[in-house]
């Protein structure tokens, strides 16, 4: 159970730290917001002041208006907020994503992970476990059925599939969330196979990645002008919402079009069939089961709050098997409805 | 095992009939006979029974993964398929052996039958050590039972025929009964056509067009013969060379399911082919055809009843014949309908067996009187009327555009659509514990861009045993749950009837249908062959006209 006297408590606006006078990832405008990363279910416009990593702030500005004054400390740099000391630490989820460490003048140190993953990813700062007494961890994939394989093998499969499509005159379409997954996919593509096109919605965040020095292959705008070049041999990256639209059919090659969805949810067969995509590639920006358990161990936390996903199951397992005290932290996003990973799959059928 | 697993994944990944067919053909081309015979057995539902109990598998995965039992249950709920859940939970093995399917079936599946619990555990552990994750999933399905590949037997038949280089209907006839999973039986199945194959071969069925608009538009009523449009199984009864074959319109041999019809057919002369409708007919004074659901139950039964169990139940299967396609070995299809009809009446009268009876011609003074007869069709257990031009020949399939159709169907329920079940929720009151409120969709576009779009909800129309069967299916084929609402694998097809339709912006499909109800469960139709949004749009156009 969360306790009222806790340093950080869930409220109807988000996680609130009274001693520091700030919210973490609030979902309504507040005076002072510490933002872990630029995904829409974590970053809200209209707050008085923001504290976030420089890359997170840049990504927020590229995606939404109403982002006012922002203070952008370096990772690890201590910041005095009220009666607390706050620092950001890389979360490995997307570019700029941060965990938030909060040290009060007296009492246990807290770490809020935000979304995170532990696998290496050349498009963002690598995850660092942060020692603490109380850990608030996400649990999007908090069931042992979710275990990620070797990332490089996933990209080998993806590139081989693209190549076979191109050989047969088929256009390849990869559905990936606009911020984070799209750029990670881009970085893993073998650009010698054919041209790469990006849907307009991806240009903003991709530009921020490139300005931040992330190396990505050349890409072109997936539009009517470039359609002849992309047709039948190119690979188009677009958000799941573009699946099955008239827009995507403009790129159909002689041999047709093949669509893949790239997400941790693709680990389960039923999810692959869900949106009638041709292929599902298992690649997630969230920690898998082993990553979640391992992170709890490495932080040394004795109390663990679980949020965002399979909270009850992970909390119960940690209490039974890892001997830590656990509690479930409610969020506005219920159950598996984490839109960031496109839980509904392409097409978003009801 | 690896090749068969690939086939499983390919069939699982697509709803397109063309792609499924290509995957099947490639499999039967690649697999050596000693494996292909097992692949065929598994594809057609002849799987070995009693291999392993689910509890042994459960215990073994808990032991191998070290996870608590409640967490296995949580995972099962999230995945929806226990075989897959267990495959996902197992520690990654080094196993990557490519073992021939017949070896797997012998050493790891059949070996489980009658084995002790300890031996079962050992055999399963050994299999886990040998197989990669995808093979493990298929293996679990093989030993647990309930193994289904989501492919119709008709498609398997087509694939085998194409690989063997013989006609699909010849292959279908060879596939009647149980094929033993041996290389020899498989080789015989795939052998070139022989003279004996010809005897059972049916003609392509001639299909009717729906009557759009007014019957009076067809011209002089005297040019047309009218019959009831029966709600049964369209079938061709063939008697040649002392043998009988009964084919459904889906080109499935069904004689073994209707032995009473096959027995009656023995009285026909060699070289006779009848076209008609198989119906279950209730005897007695208030006799008449039973609904399609009753027939479906008979079709789904593995073994047909060989004798009447209840002396007072005079229900029996009959063939209501309405055309004669071959007489004394001569193809009559180019003869005009009225001549074929006259010959048919002679054949049926000469046979003198009620099991094979004539579909009566309905007399009427003109279109107006005929319309009144048509309106009473439901009371007679029929769906409407068939109108056949007296000079029409028996064509192939549907009449080509531009040609004058020879046959029209004039249905009471003018609007019907084959739709795919996509979701369900429990009913209320007495049916609160059953999933009885169904959501249906049709295809938006076909081919590789195909997607399902919801267009109707329906609550009624199924028989109680069908409701229960469907309820069980829904529970074990749920892909997502939201409150009481379950999304299911889009696999089951239903014929929906409705009284009218109109354009609607509130509906995702753009079309609202009035009083939809379920007419029948089309277990004979794969989801890929359900109707499209274009079908609905065409109905809307016709409705407006
Ligand atoms: Zn996120």
Q: Give DSSP secondary structure letters for A143-190.
A: STT-----HHHHHHHHHHHHHHHHHTTEEEEEE--TTTHHHHHHHH--
| Residue in B137, B449, B479 nearest the CB of A274 | B479
Distance between A199 CA and the closest CA of chain B, angstroms: 19
Instruction: Judge whether B106 lies within some domain.
Output: no
A349/B contact by beta carbon, under 8 A: yes
Q: Is A269 on the interface with B (CB under 8 A)?
A: yes
Chain B, nearest residue to A337 by Cα? B482
pLDDT score for A139: 94
Residue of B nearest to A270 (CA): B479
Chain A CA closest to residue B445: A244
Q: How far is B29 from chain A (nearest CA, A)?
A: 21
Structural domain includes residue B494: yes
pLDDT grade, residue A217 (50/70/90)?
very high
- Binned at pLDDT 50, 70 and 90, residue B465 comes out as confident
Same domain as B490, residue B378: no
Task: Average the pLDDT over A102-121 and give the result.
Answer: 96
Chain center to CA of A216: 18
| Residue ranges of E strands in B162-222 | 209-210
The arithmetic mean of pLDDT across residues B98-107, rounded, is 92
> Which has the higher per-residue pLDDT, A3 or B503?
B503
Q: What is the mean pLDDT of residues B171-198?
A: 82
The tens digit of pLDDT for each residue in A163-200 reads 999 999 999 999 999 999 999 999 999 999 999 999 99
Per-residue pLDDT for B307 more than 60? no
Interval A214-242 mean pLDDT: 94
Amino acid B146: pLDDT:
64
Cβ distance of A349 and B14 shorter than 8 Å: no
**Domain presence at residue B192:** no
DSSP B117-156: HHHHHHHHHHHHHH--HHHHHHHHHHHHS----S--HHHH
Mean pLDDT of B1-22: 86
Q: Which of A144, A267, A349 sits opposite B67 (nearest CB)?
A: A144
- Can you tell me the mean pLDDT for B140-159? 82
Burial of residue B212 (CB within 10 Å: 0-12, 13-18, 19+) is middle
- Total residue length of chain B: 545
Query: Which structural domains are found in chain A, ordered by start?
Result: 9-146+286-349 (3.60.15.10), 151-281 (3.40.50.10710)
pLDDT tens digit sequence for B324-374? 999 999 999 999 999 999 999 999 999 999 999 999 999 888 898 998 898
Q: What local confidence, expressed as pLDDT, does residue A335 receive? A: 31
Count of CB atoms situated within 10 Å of the CB of B178: 12
Q: What percent of chain A clears pLDDT 90, i.e. is strictly above it?
A: 78
Q: Is residue B398 part of a domain?
A: yes
Residue B217 shares a structural domain with residue B311: yes
Indicate the number of domains in chain B: 2
The two three-digit tokens of residue A337, written as one number: 């409805």
B32 in a domain, yes or no?
no
Q: Are B386 and B468 in a shared domain?
A: no
Choose the closest CB to A269 out of B12, B67, B71: B12
At A235, which helix (H) or strand (E)? strand A235-238
The CATH number that applies at residue B376 is 3.30.470.30
**With 50 as the cut, is the pLDDT of residue A350 above it?**
no
Cα A39 to middle of ligand 1, angstroms: 5
Provide the residue range defining the domain that includes B346.
209-411
Report chain B's mean pLDDT, rounded to a whole number. Answer: 85
B173 assigned to some structural domain: no
Residue with tokens 């291999």: B51
Query: How remote is the CA of residue A340 from the centroid of ligand 1, in Å?
Result: 6
Ligand 1 centre distance from Cα of residue A285 (Å): 8
- Verify that B385 and B435 share a domain, yes or no: no
CATH of residue B437's domain is 2.40.50.140
Residue B447 has pLDDT above 60, yes or no: no
Residue B278 CA from chain centroid, whole number: 15
User: Pairing relation of β-strands B330-331 and B382-389?
Assistant: unpaired
Claim to verify: residue B369 and residue B427 sit in the same structural domain: no
Residue A332 has pLDDT above 70, yes or no: no
User: Smallest Cα–Cα separation from A25: which of A117, A182, A138?
Assistant: A138
Which of B43-52, B69-78, B482-491, B529-538 shows the lowest mean pLDDT across its residues?
B43-52
Rounded CA separation B116/B130 (Å):
21
B511 part of a folded domain: yes
**Nearest by CB to B68, which of A145, A320, A347?**
A320
| C-alpha to C-alpha distance for A340 and A333, rounded to whole angstroms | 11
pLDDT at A32: 97
pLDDT at B310: 47
- Is the C-alpha dihedral spanning B175, B176, B178, B182 positive or negative? negative
Q: Does A269 sit within 8 Å of B84, measured CB to CB? A: yes
Q: Mean pLDDT across the stretch A98-106?
A: 97
For residues B324 and B421, state if they share a domain.
no
Average pLDDT, chain A: 90
Look up the pTM and report it: 0.69
Q: Are residues B421 and B275 in the same domain?
A: no
Q: Measure B88 CA to nearest chain A CA, in Å.
A: 5
Nearest to B448 among A147, A256, A271 (CB): A256
Q: Which two tokens stand for residue B518?
A: 């379920």
Q: Are residues B371 and B508 in the same domain?
A: no
Identify whether residues B387 and B525 lie together within a single domain: no
- CA dist., res. B144 & res. B136, Å (int): 12
The verdict on B451 and B487 lying in the same domain is: yes
- The pLDDT-based confidence of B72 (bands split at 50, 70, 90) is very high
Which position has the token pair 């002396």? B311
CA neighbor of A89 nearest in space, from A71, A69, A73 = A73
Interface test with A, best of B12, B20, B479 (most A CBs within 10 A): B479
Residue B42 is classified by DSSP as: H
pLDDT of residue A345: 32
CA angle A106–A108–A109, rounded 5-degree value: 105
**pLDDT in the model for residue A55:** 97
C-alpha torsion sign, points B147, B152, B153, B158: negative
pLDDT of residue B538: 80
Answer whether A279 sits within 8 Å of B70, measured CB to CB.
no
């Amino acid at each position: 159970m969360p306790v009222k006297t806790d340093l950080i408590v869930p409220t109807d606006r988000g996680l609130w730290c009274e001693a520091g006078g700030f919210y973490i990832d609030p979902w309504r405008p507040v005076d002072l917001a510490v933002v872990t990363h630029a995904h829409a279910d974590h970053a809200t416009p209209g707050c008085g002041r923001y504290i976030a990593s420089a890359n997170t702030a840049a990504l927020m500005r590229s995606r939404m208006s109403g982002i006012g004054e922002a203070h952008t400390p370096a990772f690890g740099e201590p910041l005095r907020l009220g009666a607390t000391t706050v620092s950001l630490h890389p979360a490995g989820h997307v570019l700029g994503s941060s965990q938030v460490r909060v040290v009060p003048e007296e009492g246990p140190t807290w770490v809020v992970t935000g979304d995170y993953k532990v696998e290496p990813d050349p498009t963002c700062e690598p995850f660092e476990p942060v020692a603490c007494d109380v850990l608030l961890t996400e649990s999007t994939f908090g069931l042992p059925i979710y275990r990620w394989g070797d990332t490089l093998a996933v990209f080998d499969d993806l590139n081989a599939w693209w190549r076979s499509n191109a050989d047969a005159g088929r256009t390849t379409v990869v559905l990936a969330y606009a911020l984070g997954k799209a750029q990670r996919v881009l970085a893993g593509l073998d650009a010698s196979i054919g041209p790469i096109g990006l849907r307009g919605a991806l240009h903003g965040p991709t530009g921020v990645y490139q300005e931040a020095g992330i190396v990505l292959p050349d890409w072109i705008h997936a539009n009517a002008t470039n359609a002849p070049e992309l047709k039948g041999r190119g690979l188009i990256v677009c958000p799941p919402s573009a699946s099955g639209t008239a827009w995507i059919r403009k790129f159909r090659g002689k041999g047709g079009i093949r669509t893949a969805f790239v997400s941790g949810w693709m680990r389960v067969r039923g999810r692959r069939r869900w949106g009638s995509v041709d292929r599902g590639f298992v690649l997630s920006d969230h920690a898998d089961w082993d990553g979640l358990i391992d992170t709890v161990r490495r932080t040394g936390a004795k109390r663990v709050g679980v949020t965002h996903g399979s909270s009850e199951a992970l909390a119960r397992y940690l209490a039974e098997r890892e001997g830590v005290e656990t509690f479930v932290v409610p969020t506005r996003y219920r159950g598996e409805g984490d839109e960031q990973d496109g839980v509904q799959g392409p097409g978003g059928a009801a | 095992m690896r090749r068969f697993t690939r086939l499983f994944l390919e069939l699982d990944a697509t709803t397109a009939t063309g792609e499924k067919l290509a995957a099947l053909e490639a499999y039967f081309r690649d697999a050596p006979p000693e494996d292909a015979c097992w692949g065929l057995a598994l594809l057609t539902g002849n799987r070995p029974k009693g291999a392993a109990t689910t509890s042994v598998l459960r215990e073994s995965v808990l032991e191998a993964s070290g996870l608590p039992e409640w967490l296995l249950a949580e995972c099962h709920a999230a995945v929806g398929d226990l075989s897959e859940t267990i495959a996902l939970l197992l520690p990654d093995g080094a196993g990557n052996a490519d073992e021939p399917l017949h070896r797997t079936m012998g050493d790891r599946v059949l070996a489980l039958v009658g084995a002790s619990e300890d031996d079962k555990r050992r055999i399963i552990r050994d299999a886990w050590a040998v197989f990669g994750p995808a093979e493990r999933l298929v293996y679990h399905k093989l030993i647990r039972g309930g193994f289904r590949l989501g492919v119709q037997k008709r498609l398997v038949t087509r694939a085998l025929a194409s690989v063997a280089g013989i006609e699909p209907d010849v292959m279908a006839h060879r596939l009647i009964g149980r094929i033993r999973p041996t290389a020899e039986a498989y080789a015989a199945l795939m052998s070139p056509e022989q003279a004996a194959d010809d005897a059972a071969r049916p003609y392509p069925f001639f299909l009717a067009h729906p009557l759009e608009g007014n019957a009076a538009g067809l011209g002089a009523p005297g040019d047309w013969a009218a019959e009831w449009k029966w709600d049964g199984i369209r079938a061709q009864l063939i008697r040649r060379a002392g043998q009988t074959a009964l084919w459904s319109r889906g080109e499935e041999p069904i004689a073994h399911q209707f032995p009473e019809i096959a027995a009656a057919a023995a009285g026909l002369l060699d070289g006779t082919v009848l076209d008609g409708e198989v119906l279950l007919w209730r005897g007695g004074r208030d006799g008449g055809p039973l609904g399609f659901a009753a027939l479906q139950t008979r079709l789904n039964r593995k073994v047909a009843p060989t004798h009447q169990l209840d002396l007072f139940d005079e229900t029996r299967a009959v063939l209501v014949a309405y055309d004669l396609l071959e007489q004394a070995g001569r193809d009559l299809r180019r003869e005009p309908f009225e001549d074929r009809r006259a010959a048919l009446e002679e054949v049926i009268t000469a046979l003198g067996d009620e099991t094979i009876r004539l579909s009566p011609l309905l007399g009427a003074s003109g279109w107006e009187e005929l319309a009144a007869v048509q309106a009473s069709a439901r009371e007679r257990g029929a769906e409407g009327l068939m109108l056949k031009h007296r000079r029409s020949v028996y064509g192939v399939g549907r009449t080509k555009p531009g040609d004058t159709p020879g046959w029209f169907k004039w249905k009471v329920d003018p609007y019907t659509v084959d739709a795919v079940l996509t979701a369900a929720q429990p009913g209320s009151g007495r049916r609160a514990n059953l999933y009885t409120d169904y959501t249906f969709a049709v295809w938006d576009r076909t081919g590789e861009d195909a997607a399902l779009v919801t267009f109707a909800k329906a609550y009624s129309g199924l028989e109680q045993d069908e409701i229960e069967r469907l309820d069980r299916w829904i529970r074990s084929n749920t892909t997502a749950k939201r409150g009481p609402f379950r999304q299911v694998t889009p696999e089951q097809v239903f014929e929906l009837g409705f009284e009218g339709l109109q354009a609607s912006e509130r509906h995702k499909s753009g079309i609202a249908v009035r009083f939809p109800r379920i007419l029948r469960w089309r277990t004979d139709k794969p989801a890929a062959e359900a109707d499209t949004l274009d079908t609905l749009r065409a109905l809307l156009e016709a409705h407006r006209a």
